[in-house]
């Protein structure tokens, strides 16, 4: 054999993982596809803006403005990019298990992941143009500048969202849930038409029938379905812990998954049935969510027997803080119902985030605290 026919010893070899895709080639593919998604969204919504604003000057914000079309472009383009990227990421090394999910489950899963990203992008685009309008009072743009601004906003949203969903993980999703709820609720509060809404209760935000209430109710619906999405990931992680002999009860994955689905559906129901639509159904959904949360937190020492003791201490501490917050509302009367509901929502979503991240970290391959799968 001639020397020229021999493979060079110094040439680095690329290890191919499951699915025949190496991490390096996958990363390059994602970057290329993200650029294509960004360019497609930029061209499409740039043309839409050019048609809408032809022959006129347009303000940055207010009515049919540059900011409104840019936010719409970020929402629609971001949703399309998010859905496509999340669908394609099933072939990412280590994520092939999602290929075997039932079609309807994957549809709900991918839609909520895409919407969470897109709504955050739309809210951020809105905030940027509102801030610019207030910073440059009286500024208007011609059709060319308007189209470029819309194209940049839609393109950037699609590009970043495609990258984010392509590298999605359980830990990232838990952070996205908290960020989504915080940004959506704060935006609803900031844009509420009734300045005295907080004197009543938290749910008052969803009763005005304006942009603020629509965003608030939409956020609850999307967040509810997003919580149900975690059932897929938790079932997988908890099943791995059962197989490794960490969890004592084989029924733990299904019990926790079902409870998460119930809690998510109840949260979505709070948004579907605002107080002014149906008070009984609204209160039923809110109570159902509280009961599902209580079952998980108080029942965790039995359901999840085998997990480290520090997790159960965290659960008991969380519930104790929640009870303490309620006692400060009634009978102490330190703050009103709105304050208690805000605190309770923060505690619940904080616990969900920590729980998901804790289980995911514990189930990670090679964790020294967990024996390997037999």
Taking only the tens of pLDDT, the chain with its 374 residues reads: 344 444 444 444 434 344 455 666 777 888 999 999 999 999 999 999 999 999 899 999 888 899 999 999 999 999 999 999 999 888 777 777 777 888 888 888 899 999 999 999 999 999 999 889 889 988 899 999 999 999 999 999 999 999 999 988 888 888 888 888 888 888 888 888 878 888 887 888 888 777 788 888 998 999 999 898 888 888 889 999 999 889 999 999 999 999 999 999 999 999 999 888 888 998 899 999 999 999 999 999 999 999 999 999 999 999 999 999 999 988 888 888 888 888 998 999 899 999 999 998 888 765 555 554 44
The rounded distance, in Å, linking the Cα atoms of 74 and 72 is: 5
Question: CA-based angle 80:86:92, to the nearest 5?
Answer: 145
CA 155 from chain centre, in angstroms, equals 20
CA distance 122 to 59: 18
The rounded distance, in Å, linking the Cα atoms of 82 and 121 is: 11
CB 247 within 8 A of CB 301: no
Are 84 and 37 spatial neighbours (Cβ–Cβ below 8 Å)?
A: yes
Residue 155: CA count within 13 A, CB half-sphere: 16
Residue 281: predicted pLDDT: 92
Q: Which of 286, 256, 254 is nearest to 268 (CA)?
A: 286
> What pLDDT is attached to residue 78?
95
Instruction: Say if CB 360 and CB 367 are below 8 A apart.
Output: no
Q: Which two tokens stand for residue 311?
A: 């997790």
HEC string of 159-189 equals HHHHHHHHCCCHHHHHHHHHHHHHHHHHHHH
> CA 80, 123, 125: angle at the middle one, nearest 5?
80
């Amino acid at each position: 054999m001639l020397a020229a026919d021999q493979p060079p010893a110094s040439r680095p070899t690329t290890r191919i993982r499951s699915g025949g895709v190496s991490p390096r080639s996958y990363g390059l593919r994602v970057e290329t596809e993200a650029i294509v998604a960004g360019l497609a969204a930029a061209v499409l919504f740039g043309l839409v803006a050019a048609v809408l604003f032809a022959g006129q000057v347009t303000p940055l914000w207010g009515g049919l403005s540059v900011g409104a079309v840019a936010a719409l472009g970020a929402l629609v383009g971001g949703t399309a990019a998010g859905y496509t990227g999340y669908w394609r990421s099933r072939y990412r090394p280590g994520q092939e298990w999602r290929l075997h999910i039932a079609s309807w489950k994957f549809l709900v899963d991918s839609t909520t992941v895409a919407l969470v990203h897109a709504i955050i992008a739309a809210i951020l685009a809105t905030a940027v143009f509102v801030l610019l309008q207030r910073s440059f009072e009286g500024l208007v743009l011609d059709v060319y500048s308007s189209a470029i601004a819309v194209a940049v906003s839609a393109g950037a949203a699609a590009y970043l969202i495609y990258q984010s969903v392509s590298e999605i993980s359980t830990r990232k999703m838990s952070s996205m849930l908290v960020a989504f709820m915080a940004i959506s609720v704060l935006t609803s509060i900031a844009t509420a038409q009734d300045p005295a809404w907080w004197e009543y209760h938290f749910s008052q935000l969803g009763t005005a029938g304006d942009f603020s209430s629509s965003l608030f109710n939409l956020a609850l619906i999307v967040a509810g379905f997003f919580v149900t999405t975690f059932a897929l990931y938790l079932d997988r992680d908890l099943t791995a812990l059962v197989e490794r002999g960490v969890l004592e009860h084989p029924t733990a994955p299904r019990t926790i998954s079902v409870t998460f689905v119930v809690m998510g559906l109840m949260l979505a129901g709070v948004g579907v049935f605002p107080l002014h639509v149906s008070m009984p159904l609204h209160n039923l959904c809110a109570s159902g969510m509280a009961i599902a949360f209580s079952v998980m937190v108080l029942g965790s020492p039995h359901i999840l027997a085998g997990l480290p003791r520090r997790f159960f201490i965290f659960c008991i501490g969380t519930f104790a803080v929640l009870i303490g917050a309620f006692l400060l509302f009634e009978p102490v009367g330190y703050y009103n119902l709105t304050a208690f509901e805000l605190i309770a929502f923060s505690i619940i979503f904080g616990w969900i985030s920590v729980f998901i991240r804790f289980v995911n970290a514990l189930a990670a391959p090679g964790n020294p605290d967990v024996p390997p799968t037999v």
